[in-house]
Amino acid sequence: MAFSRLNLFLALLLLTPPHILAHHPRKQPPQDHTTQNLVTTIPATTLSGPSLVQFTSNASGLDGAKVSPINGSVFDWWYFDAVSSDGLSSVVIIFFTLPSAAFPLDVSPDVVSISFSANFANGSAFSTGLTATEAVIMTLGDGSVGRYVGANASWWGGSDMEWYDVGINAPEAGVVGRLKLKSVAPAHYPCGPVGPGQDMQILPHVGWSNAVPDADAIADFTLGGSPLAFSGPGYHDKNWGDQPFYSSVSSWYWGHGRLGPYSIVWFDALDITGTEYVSSYVAFDGRIVTATCSGISVRPTGANDTYPPTYSSGPPSGFYIEVDLGVEGVLQVNVTATVLTVAVEGLYYRWTGTLEGGVKGGEVLSGAALWEEFP
């Protein structure tokens, strides 16, 4: 009977739009341990004792919670973004479940918090943080639903990850609106398409699953009284780890974009021993061409092109990417920054901008992208 009641609750929840959830938080049922990771409730404070951390994929649950409970050294987060087709406007929303000791860039003292940042085409920017009393994460097939109780913020994903809808109704923080994603490229793990038994570590101790590598995105927000509305490429993934972030990561480059009919996601990271780990993903018109943890090179170009990056090397003005597509050739892409959207000197940089390139010897294509660097 407990399972039936939970199914009824989820069915009713799926019929409720995200903005209604944001306005009307409701009491959640207890976690049902008869189903794997179906409902996970995360309080606003850390819990003592060891955490269970999942690094091997199951037959479903790609976008579900991967860490339980959240103690003082682990992290788990859900990331959503969109960039306008001209690379000038953007929005990034991150739903954190972690202590600041595990990820120092999250300055909130609470375990469950939300980072919101956006850039307008006129060059102005907006950012804020929200805190919640608890997070309730529901795994539905491979997709997920998340409610940050008390923050009036939620995301809503289909079980097949074909669509996501993020809603925030926090006028006291200056944020009201929605981000809608309609996937145009299949999900993947660091080394391959979705499937059970895969290693989900992008590098040792850090997990990554990419539910939406590329999407047709619509952003519609009012931020500090100013409207921000645009369409363009969108994206959703999640990261998690079983130890503090900087105990695992020395540096990383990550980004995504759309280059003509190609959807591209890149990862190039160094662990604390200096060992390089990569992941390449390219889809063509919604068909995966490559999804593997090899066959890609990502290097900074222009100003501040030091590799490996250092605390003092500064934000590079661009990147050059080569991806081996096997029998389909070599994809060569120049990534050029238009807007440095976030800069925490020596620790973190995020950009939006343009892509230009194509398969070697073929047509030159262009598009928009969003990317980041932890030096």
For residue 335, give both structure tokens: 């990534």
Model pLDDT, residue 37: 52
Average pLDDT in the 271-284 region?
A: 99
Domain chopping of the chain, boundaries: 2-374
Q: What are phi and psi of 320, to 5 degrees?
A: -120, 130
213-240 pLDDT, tens digit each: 999 999 999 999 999 999 999 999 999 9
Mean pLDDT of 141-151: 98
User: What's the chain's average pLDDT?
Assistant: 92
List residues bridging with 115 in a β-sheet.
94, 129
The DSSP 8-state label assigned to residue 242 in this structure reads: S
Burial label for 249, CB within 10 Å (0-12, 13-18, 19+), is: buried
Lowest mean pLDDT across 37-51, 151-165, 304-318: 37-51
At 104, the pLDDT band (50, 70, 90 cuts) reads: confident
- Cα separation values, 141 from 35, 53, 64, 68, 144, Å: 12, 19, 9, 19, 8
Please give the pLDDT value at position 96.
98
Alpha carbon distance 46, 48 (integer Å): 7
Long-range pairs of 339-347 with CB within 8 A, sequence gap ≥ 24: 339/87, 339/88, 339/90, 339/119, 339/123, 340/315, 341/90, 341/92, 341/117, 341/119, 341/125, 342/117, 342/372, 343/315, 344/105, 346/311, 346/312, 346/375, 347/104, 347/105, 347/311, 347/374, 347/375
pLDDT: which is higher, 37 or 127:
127
**Residue 346, pLDDT score:** 95
Write down the pLDDT at residue 13.
40
Among the residue ranges 24-38, 78-92, 95-109, 257-271, the one predicted with the least confidence is 24-38
Would the pLDDT of 35 be above 60? no
- What proportion of the chain, given as a percentage, has pLDDT over 90? 88
Instruction: State the average pLDDT over residues 348-362.
Output: 98
CATH topology of domain 2-374: AttH-like fold (2.40.370)
Looking at residue 299, what is its pLDDT? 99
- For the whole model, what pTM was predicted? 0.91
